Amino acid sequence: MVRAARHYYVDDMSKMQTADALGVSRFKVARLLEGARELGIVTITVDDAGVPVPELADALAAHLGLSRAVVVEAHGAQAEVRHEVGAAAAALLGSTLRQGEVLGLAWGRTLTGMSHSMPPLPRVDVVQLTGALGTDLEASPVEVVRRVALRSGGSAQPIFAPLVLDDPRTADALRRQTDVAGALRMFDHLTTAVVAVGSWDPPNSQLLTALSQEDRQAMHEAGVRAEVAAILVSDTGEVVSPEFARRCISIGVDQLRRTPRIVAAAAGADKARAVTAIARAGLCTELVTDRALAEAVLSLDGVDPAVAERGTA
């Protein structure tokens, strides 16, 4: 049975060839294969994770006024969804980045996933857009930059500094450090930026873990709904809490807005409002998401996602 299954399914032989190879009748081969499937020796799985859904993507791009959107199928735990979205973002960069670009990378679990799935890239300069948060080396923005630069062969410009400081004074001092300043200067020359979308309401952002209870309370009252690269945005797309930005080592709103191409990656339906807010704020030109999030965004304002999608291949 196992040998028959190997021949037929792995080596793609016909049942007649398999029969000849094993010295049995083709009928017996058919019965062996049938048995092998029943016994679980042969398992056939149809897994659409990572498959793009162009219809939803087009509808999403139109809805949010983006130049492009990528929507992929993803199921299972949040971590798996992030992994698929990250892989899709990696593939998008791989097929669109051109040699000589200056690529800015923010940070988040989705972008960590992206860095793990990154295909070989043309030679680009990679710049870290934000300081670090937390102590997990594997998930740090420095590591994301390192991995992506490794795939490209271009220069890497990391920022060895915390993302959030206790007061603006310390942040200013850090910004004047030679290495940090060098990275910040490159923010004006970015051709492509990649950011992760964090949601503040419902709360789903790693930035939240770094804030004091008072900070959170104040921001909540200020109407913060979403976050990219530590830039806080309200439901209407306005940037709030600029005094918070002064405490952050991160790209500024204006610098990010001036970047010609901003790819936002977001995973999970609970980020629907956050994604909408970011798009309204003009803080992304392209979006990579999973199906559930895309559908949630489209249905937020009464757009029926079923209309957008027809005849998934």
Partner DNA sequence: TTCTGCTCTGCTCATATGAGCGACGCTGCG
Partner DNA sequence: CGCAGCGTCGCTCATATGAGCAGAGCAGAA
70 in Cβ contact with 88 (< 8 Å): yes
Task: Decide if residue 222 touches DNA (CB under 7 A).
Answer: no
Q: Pick the binder of its own copies from 19, 29, 42, 102 (CB under 8 A).
A: 42
Q: From edge to edge, which strands make up the β-sheet containing 156-157? A: 68-72, 286-290, 261-266, 192-196, 102-105, 125-128, 156-157
* In the complex, least distance from residue 260 CB atom to DNA, rounded to whole angstroms: 22
* In the complex, least distance from residue 25 CB atom to its own copies, rounded to whole angstroms: 14
| Contact letters for its own copies, residues 3-32 (x by CB under 8 A) | x-xx--xx---------------------x
25 binds, among DNA, its own copies, none (CB under 5 to 8 A by kind): DNA
308 in Cβ contact with 286 (< 8 Å): no
Query: Which two tokens mark 203?
Result: 């709360």
Distance CA 169, CA 205 (A): 25
* In the complex, least distance from residue 41 CB atom to its own copies, rounded to whole angstroms: 6
Q: Pick the binder of its own copies from 38, 45, 167, 213 (CB under 8 A).
A: 45
> Is the alpha carbon torsion for 293, 296, 298, 301 positive or negative?
negative
Q: Pick the binder of its own copies from 18, 60, 73, 157 (CB under 8 A).
A: 73
Task: Decide if residue 95 touches its own copies (CB under 8 A).
Answer: no
* In the complex, least distance from residue 95 CB atom to its own copies, rounded to whole angstroms: 15
Q: Tokens 């937020």 label which residue?
A: 300
267 in Cβ contact with 110 (< 8 Å): yes
47 binds, among its own copies, DNA, none (CB under 5 to 8 A by kind): its own copies
CB proximity list for 61: less than 8 A, separation 6 or greater: 67, 68, 69, 287
Which residues in this chain contact DNA in the complex, by CB under 7 A?
14-16, 24-28, 30-31
Residues at the interface with its own copies (CB under 8 A): 1-3, 5-6, 9-10, 32, 36, 39-48, 51, 73, 312-313
